């Protein structure tokens, strides 16, 4: 591979000849050979949107030559479309402001714009700082990109995925409403519940989760653009941020707005911490639901086995015929990762002194990963698991009749202590509550049938 020589403020740098990025990006590549983690498509798209909006705004404000602006806009459009994702080569673990990634975008767009105009890479006839980064700083571009990417992904991917899961669970709740099973508390038999009621709880949890994600809009919609280095807006035209925000809102269909306080928008990352916290709650819900599905489908013959989970793949390399709850297990791992990301984002949100947070790259990476994985996990859970769940109605019915907790319904009639004696005897003699009560002739058959009717126990007041 050949190289070309480019210069930046620190001197000459050898850059791969065919690379669209330049000297500052190459320095970052050499400085941070750490994780091989790169920013996701949603973040690169947001960077392209910001650079395009900036070029349009600067052209309208007559700060940027029309032909130069046209080439930058063309190049930024190609970044938005994903044509240069392979040119965003800086590791996530880099300078805490994200300056290396901002310059990566500036250099790629500048060199592509030069190419469009027939020039040579690295000539800087379209300058990455003076033209592409005009009226901007890494310190306001990167937090703006975090908010643009995160809120767009939440609005267009995560919330719809949660809604899809909620609807699937609600459908199962209706389908299973006439299936009476035994409830469980502390993993022990409790009073009867309808399987549909159990699934309605899952649907309710996911519904709350969707509303929690909706609640992050007011703060994530605030954009730091226009604050430049520390929030004062130095070297930024006063009309620039309003124009950029308006364009971003139009192009994405998401209602963004200028930050109420640009000093806060640069110094803190509280909106990202809040959004991560809401996703942590969603992850806890998914972990609970997925584990319940694993328990309810355990067996199939020697476990609880009240539901039948779809068989998606062989479960064992040694035990023929074994099928495992692999979809639910995958969802629990997603939830675990989101919880871990939240811890990282919490720590990162505290980090940085005075006017600038200096852990923005890892906040961006982990936040967008959580959004993406939660959304994908919800879709897989719907398509590969929930939609195909069946109830083992006979097993549920048998378990209800065997449950010692059925004696609870007799307490108003015979008292707690007597009911406890019956439960104990039923357990020791391996008989049902119904059989023990009949043997002692404590209630008439008519009373016993009415009191031990499992459906009435699930109705409440």
Domain ranges of the chain: 3-134, 140-393, 403-456
pLDDT 10s digits, 252-290: 999 999 999 999 999 999 999 999 999 999 999 999 999
What would the mean pLDDT of 87-102 be, rounded to a whole number? 98
Report d(CA 313, CA 322) in Å as an integer.
9
Report d(CA 453, CA 461) in Å as an integer.
15
Report d(CA 445, CA 36) in Å as an integer.
73
Looking at the chain, the number of H-run helices and the number of E-run strands are 19, 8
- Quick one: tokens of 244? 């950029």
pLDDT score recorded for residue 408: 96
Enzyme catalytic residues: 186, 316
| Fold category of 403-456 in CATH | Ribonucleotide Reductase Protein R1; domain 1 (1.10.40)
- Res 460 pLDDT > 90: no
pLDDT 10s digits, 149-173: 999 999 999 999 999 999 999 999 9
The DSSP bridge pattern shows strands 307-308 and 390-391 to be antiparallel
DSSP structural state of residue 132: I
DSSP 229-276: TTSS-TT--TTHHHHHHHHHHHHHS---EE-S-HHHHHH--HHHHHHH
pLDDT 10s digits, 102-152: 999 999 999 999 999 999 999 999 999 999 999 999 999 999 999 999 999
Region 140-393: CATH code: 1.20.200.10
What would the mean pLDDT of 76-92 be, rounded to a whole number? 98
Residue 312 binned pLDDT confidence (cut-offs 50, 70, 90): very high
pLDDT 10s digits, 319-342: 999 999 999 999 999 999 999 999
| Fold category of 3-134 in CATH | Fumarase C; Chain B, domain 1 (1.10.275)
pLDDT score recorded for residue 415: 97
Report d(CA 284, CA 205) in Å as an integer.
10
Report d(CA 247, CA 348) in Å as an integer.
30
pLDDT score recorded for residue 282: 98
Give yes or no for a contact between 432 and 402, defined as CB atoms under 8 angstroms apart.
yes
- Res 461 pLDDT > 60: no
Q: Which helix (H) or strand (E) holds 12?
A: strand 11-16
């Amino acid at each position: 591979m050949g190289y070309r020589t480019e210069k930046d403020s620190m001197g000459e740098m050898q850059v791969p000849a065919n690379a669209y990025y330049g000297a500052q990006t190459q320095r970052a590549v050499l400085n941070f050979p750490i994780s091989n983690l790169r920013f996701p498509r949603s973040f690169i798209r947001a960077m392209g949107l910001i650079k395009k909006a900036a070029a349009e705004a600067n052209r309208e404000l007559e700060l940027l030559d029309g032909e130069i602006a046209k080439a930058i806009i063309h190049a930024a459009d190609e970044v938005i479309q994903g044509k240069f994702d392979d040119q965003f080569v800086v590791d996530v673990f880099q300078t805490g402001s994200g300056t290396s990634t901002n310059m990566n975008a500036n250099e790629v767009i500048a060199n592509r714009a030069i190419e469009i105009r027939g020039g040579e890479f690295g000539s800087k006839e379209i300058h990455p700082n003076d033209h592409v980064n005009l009226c901007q700083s890494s310190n306001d571009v990167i937090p703006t990109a975090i908010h643009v990417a995160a809120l767009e992904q939440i609005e267009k991917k995560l919330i719809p995925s949660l809604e899809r899961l909620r609807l699937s669970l609600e459908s199962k709740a209706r389908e299973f409403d006439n299936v009476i099973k035994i409830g469980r508390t502390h993993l022990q038999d409790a009073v009867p519940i309808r399987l549909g009621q159990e699934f309605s709880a899952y649907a309710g949890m996911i519904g709350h989760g969707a509303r929690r994600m909706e609640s992050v809009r007011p703060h994530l919609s605030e954009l730091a653009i226009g604050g430049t280095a520390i929030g004062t807006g130095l070297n930024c035209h006063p009309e620039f941020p309003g124009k950029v925000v308006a364009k971003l809102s139009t192009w994405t269909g998401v209602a963004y707005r200028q930050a109420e306080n640009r000093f806060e928008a640069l110094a803190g990352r509280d909106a990202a911490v809040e959004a991560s916290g809401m996703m942590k709650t969603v992850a806890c819900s998914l972990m609970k639901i997925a584990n319940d599905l694993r328990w309810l489908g355990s067996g199939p013959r020697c476990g609880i086995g009240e539901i039948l989970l779809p068989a998606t793949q062989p479960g064992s390399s040694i035990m023929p015929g074994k099928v495992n709850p692999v979809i639910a297990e995958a969802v629990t791992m997603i939830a675990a990762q989101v919880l871990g990301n939240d811890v990282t984002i919490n720590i990162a949100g505290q980090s940085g002194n005075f006017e600038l947070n200096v852990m923005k790259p890892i906040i961006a990476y982990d936040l967008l990963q959580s959004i993406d994985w939660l959304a994908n996990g919800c879709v897989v859970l719907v398509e590969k698991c929930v939609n195909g769940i069946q109830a083992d109605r006979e097993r549920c019915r048998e378990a209800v009749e065997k449950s010692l907790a059925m004696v609870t319904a007799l307490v108003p009639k015979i008292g707690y202590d007597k009911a406890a004696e019956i439960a104990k005897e039923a357990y020791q003699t391996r008989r049902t509550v119904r059989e023990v009560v009949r043997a002692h002739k404590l209630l008439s058959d008519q009373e016993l049938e009415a009191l031990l009717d499992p459906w009435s126990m699930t109705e409440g007041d």
